[in-house]
A and B are shown apart, each in its own frame.
Chain A
Amino acid sequence: MKNPFTSKKTVGAVAIAVFAAASLSACGGASAGGNSASGDVSYWLWDANQLPAYQQCADDFHKANPDITVKITQTGWDDYWGKLTNGMAAGTAPDVFTDHLSKFPDFVKTKQLVPLDDAVKAANINLNQYNAGLADLWVGQDGKRYGLPKDWDTISLFYNKKMAAAAGLSPAQMASLTWNPQDGGTYEKAIAHLTVDKNGKRGDEPGFDKNNVAVYGLGLPGSDGENAGQTQWSFLSATTGWTTTDKNPWGTHFNYDDKRLQDTIAWWASLAQKGYMPKLETTVGASAPDAFGAGKAAINSNGDWMIGQYKTYKGVDLGIAPTPVGPNGKSMSMFNGLADSIWAGTKKKDASIKWVEYLASTKCQDVVASKAVVFPAIKTSSDKAAAAFKAKGIDVTPFTQHVKDDTTFLLPITDNAAKVAGIMKPAMDAVVAGKAPASSLTAANGQVNALFAK
């Protein structure tokens, strides 16, 4: 049989098709950014709970600037970053988007963000109006500013008040738990006492059946290895004096080989072996907050952005307690903040800058505060948010106290964040699942540090 690819005509057709394909892909490239100060500005965010607040901001903004219309798109966290990166490569990314501390270093490195220094100077934005430290987080290693802060978050313990009362734990006791990596302190005692097996025996009573647990003292959403333990264990390891990286931001050496961290993780993983916390394998596909809502766990550690969801669980009298006091005598919390950044490929640069400035102003942040969903970055707006939560019957002091007492530490800001997460998640999963000792984190740490040796 004649090979179809040797005919001259076919070769010609292939050449045309190749040319067509090449020119098609060429169209996809980002074109030079324009500076239009009017028209549609696209804006992305991932948290559906915050969408109504920001839609309100967009509507108000349009009223004040009738020639600019903001189009908001909300995409869930899991798809958000992939869509955003692909959009940047294809030239279809949004003009303005909600940015995360763990992600922006890679965008700065690949020159995808517009520096905002000139805009800040021109509009005379007071960077001291934000809670301390938040504005500086968004300055890259090149000394330029790539985002204006929109909110911040800390971690606390959500607990079931009825279960605590039945276990004889008063709100005052829950608010003053202590912890150490050796015996877990009163934190472990409370977790053990709140754990109840199918026969009604508590976790610290003789005859407790750890294989048939009805209520776990502590819920488990996952090993949190990909997020540096933000909501699950970082508030404990930090009280031992351990830090994730040699310096923050822009650390280049990770410390997962440190005994203080490994002791913390070993203690935490031991809760699952003792039956006080679900085994990791039973949590695949499950939602820890929903299990809490269904009365299957007494305590969940989580961030303030989850207050709204925890509050919706019917029949659960929600208590919020500060993270336990550790060996350094403090209750600690990781501190994370979001900001709005402008994509370098935007064709509406001036309009985008106006929108970002509006988002970072009290006008928008007071609106967000009034919806009681998160804590805005501006100090006065933060206080308004706390008042709005209080009006809804939620005392958020455990979250705000960390900022007042300066007992926060930053989410690690480094290059290679996605690769670090790719290594640390399976490594941490293995330890929490009881398949590897905490000392195995030393090997993972070596792999992580090798990323920075290049």
Chain B
Amino acid sequence: MVFIAPALIGLVAFYIVPTFRGLYLSFTDYSILGDPEWVGMKNYQAIAKDPMFWNSLWVTVEYVVINIVLQTSIALGLALLMHNVAKSILVRGALLLPYLMANVIAALLWFWMLDYQIGIVNQVIEWLGLPRVAFFGSQIWAIPTQALINTWRNMGYTALLIFAGLQAIPGSLYEAASLDGSSPGQTFRKITLPLLRPVLALVLVMTVTGSFQVFDTVAVTTQGGPINATRVLQYLIFQRAFNEQDFGYGSAIAVILFLILMVVAVIQMKFLRGNESDLD
């Protein structure tokens, strides 16, 4: 009992209590200074009619789709390379390097490199004779740019998780497949992917949940702009609660995000049958 106390206190103090307090605050009008005042469903009704919220939901989904599709496919490719080709620890370690960088540092580094005026990337684009791109300033580019930065930072880590899954697939299956004359493509589709499914399900639940919570890259670069192009849900929550001192409203959006994530995670686990393995 005693040995779990440190973890338990952390869980209760930093997860369970704040979760229930957040749930309670979502039904109140609370400006942080002063006492919360119970208003029932008012915040939720206001959110349903708030175009900013629907815009944020759409922007966040756009970010998640770009980020997850790119990140998962690149990570899968990297994991296969790590498993079959790049056996050197140096190369495998190098893939993880971006992940060792703090999110905010990675974001600021790219913010600088992709700057319209002084960024090295735009300098290269100009040498190639192409027009400069406002990576963070243009409404079209802002979200893909943020998604690419996070893909770059996280793909090594995701690849490492998938790589661990690949190592768990018994080599005998591959031997049998090659004896049966299976092509590399067939082996990948019929053996690797199905047996990797539980790991992929876990990776997807983790990365999708993580991407829905994108905040730091936005907060240190575009802060929701241009116009509302990068006002993702977490940034809207922060803005409503901390900038505009409307903690009740912010908490209500946070509860909605919590519910969305729960539903998405359950659907993923169910459809990908993430809690059972085909190896048994």
Please judge, given known A-B contacts A85-B245, A281-B138, A282-B117, whether A9 and B1 are in contact too, CB under 8 Å. Answer: yes
- Measured CB to CB, the closest approach of chain B to A46, in angstroms, equals 16
B55 (CB) vs chain A CBs: closest residue: A426
Are the C-beta atoms of B227 and A285 separated by less than 8 Å? no
Question: Which of A24, A282, A418, A425 is in CB contact (< 8 Å) with B245?
Answer: A418
Of the stretches B61-69, B72-80, B85-93, B218-226, the one at the interface is B218-226
CB pairs A–B below 8 angstroms (20 shown)? A13-B5, A14-B12, A17-B5, A17-B11, A20-B9, A21-B9, A21-B17, A82-B243, A85-B32, A85-B242, A89-B32, A280-B226, A282-B116, A284-B137, A284-B226, A285-B136, A418-B245, A419-B244, A422-B243, A430-B227
A277 at the interface (CB under 8 A from B): no
Distance of A296 Cα from B116 Cα, bound (Å) = 14
B179 at the interface (CB under 8 A from A): no
Distance of A14 Cα from B10 Cα, bound (Å) = 11
CB-CB contacts of B114-158 with A at 8 A, as 1s and 0s?
011110000000000000101011110000000000000000000
Please judge, given known A-B contacts A89-B32, A418-B245, whether A282 and B8 are in contact too, CB under 8 Å. Answer: no
* B residues in contact with A22, CB < 8 Å: 17
* B residues in contact with A18, CB < 8 Å: 12, 16-17
Question: Which of B11, B12, B226 is in CB contact (< 8 Å) with A433?
Answer: B226
Are the C-beta atoms of B138 and A20 separated by less than 8 Å? no
* A residues in contact with B112, CB < 8 Å: 285
Please judge, given known A-B contacts A21-B13, A281-B226, A429-B226, whether A422 and B244 are in contact too, CB under 8 Å. Answer: yes
- Measured CB to CB, the closest approach of chain A to B121, in angstroms, equals 13
* B residues in contact with A106, CB < 8 Å: 31, 245
The 5 tightest CB contacts between A and B, nearest first, are A281-B137, A110-B33, A284-B137, A17-B12, A281-B134
* B residues in contact with A280, CB < 8 Å: 137, 226
- Measured CB to CB, the closest approach of chain B to A78, in angstroms, equals 9
CB-CB contacts of A422-435 with B at 8 A, as 1s and 0s?
10011001100101
A141 at the interface (CB under 8 A from B): no
A296 (CB) vs chain B CBs: closest residue: B117
Are the C-beta atoms of B33 and A284 separated by less than 8 Å? no
Are the C-beta atoms of B117 and A291 separated by less than 8 Å? yes
Please judge, given known A-B contacts A20-B9, A20-B13, A419-B244, whether A429 and B136 are in contact too, CB under 8 Å. Answer: no
Are the C-beta atoms of B243 and A284 separated by less than 8 Å? no
Distance of A266 Cα from B83 Cα, bound (Å) = 59
* A residues in contact with B12, CB < 8 Å: 14, 17-18, 21
Residues of B212-265 at the interface with A, using a CB-CB cut-off of 8 Å, are 221-222, 224-228, 231, 239-240, 242-246
Distance of A282 Cα from B133 Cα, bound (Å) = 9
Distance of A334 Cα from B91 Cα, bound (Å) = 59
B27 at the interface (CB under 8 A from A): no
A286 at the interface (CB under 8 A from B): yes
Distance of A198 Cα from B4 Cα, bound (Å) = 68
Are the C-beta atoms of B221 and A285 separated by less than 8 Å? yes
Residues of B1-54 at the interface with A, using a CB-CB cut-off of 8 Å, are 1, 4-5, 8-9, 11-13, 16-17, 31-34
Are the C-beta atoms of A286 and B115 separated by less than 8 Å? yes
Question: Which of B118, B231, B244 is in CB contact (< 8 Å) with A418?
Answer: B244
B163 at the interface (CB under 8 A from A): no
Question: Which of A88, A285, A422 is in CB contact (< 8 Å) with B115?
Answer: A285
- Measured CB to CB, the closest approach of chain B to A93, in angstroms, equals 10
* B residues in contact with A13, CB < 8 Å: 1, 4-5, 8
Are the C-beta atoms of A110 and B31 separated by less than 8 Å? yes
* A residues in contact with B4, CB < 8 Å: 13
Question: Which of A112, A282, A422, A433 is in CB contact (< 8 Å) with B33?
Answer: A112
Distance of A282 Cα from B138 Cα, bound (Å) = 8
A281 (CB) vs chain B CBs: closest residue: B137
Are the C-beta atoms of B1 and A282 separated by less than 8 Å? no
Distance of A112 Cα from B31 Cα, bound (Å) = 12
A454 (CB) vs chain B CBs: closest residue: B29
* A residues in contact with B228, CB < 8 Å: 426
Distance of A101 Cα from B103 Cα, bound (Å) = 35
Distance of A291 Cα from B17 Cα, bound (Å) = 49
B32 (CB) vs chain A CBs: closest residue: A89
Are the C-beta atoms of B111 and A17 separated by less than 8 Å? no
Distance of A282 Cα from B134 Cα, bound (Å) = 6
Please judge, given known A-B contacts A18-B12, A82-B243, whether A284 and B32 are in contact too, CB under 8 Å. Answer: no
Are the C-beta atoms of B245 and A426 separated by less than 8 Å? no
Contacts A13-B4, A429-B227, A433-B139 known; 20 new A-B pairs at CB < 8 A: A10-B1, A14-B8, A14-B12, A17-B5, A17-B11, A18-B17, A21-B13, A24-B13, A85-B33, A89-B33, A106-B31, A281-B226, A282-B134, A284-B225, A285-B221, A286-B116, A296-B117, A419-B244, A422-B240, A425-B225
Are the C-beta atoms of A285 and B111 separated by less than 8 Å? yes
Distance of A235 Cα from B235 Cα, bound (Å) = 32
Distance of A419 Cα from B134 Cα, bound (Å) = 28
B111 (CB) vs chain A CBs: closest residue: A285
A49 at the interface (CB under 8 A from B): no
- Measured CB to CB, the closest approach of chain B to A42, in angstroms, equals 19
Are the C-beta atoms of B225 and A426 separated by less than 8 Å? yes
- Measured CB to CB, the closest approach of chain A to B164, in angstroms, equals 24
Distance of A105 Cα from B225 Cα, bound (Å) = 27
A199 at the interface (CB under 8 A from B): no
- Measured CB to CB, the closest approach of chain B to A106, in angstroms, equals 7
Distance of A1 Cα from B119 Cα, bound (Å) = 56
A65 at the interface (CB under 8 A from B): no
A420 (CB) vs chain B CBs: closest residue: B244
Residues of A15-32 at the interface with B, using a CB-CB cut-off of 8 Å, are 17-18, 20-22, 24
- Measured CB to CB, the closest approach of chain A to B178, in angstroms, equals 40
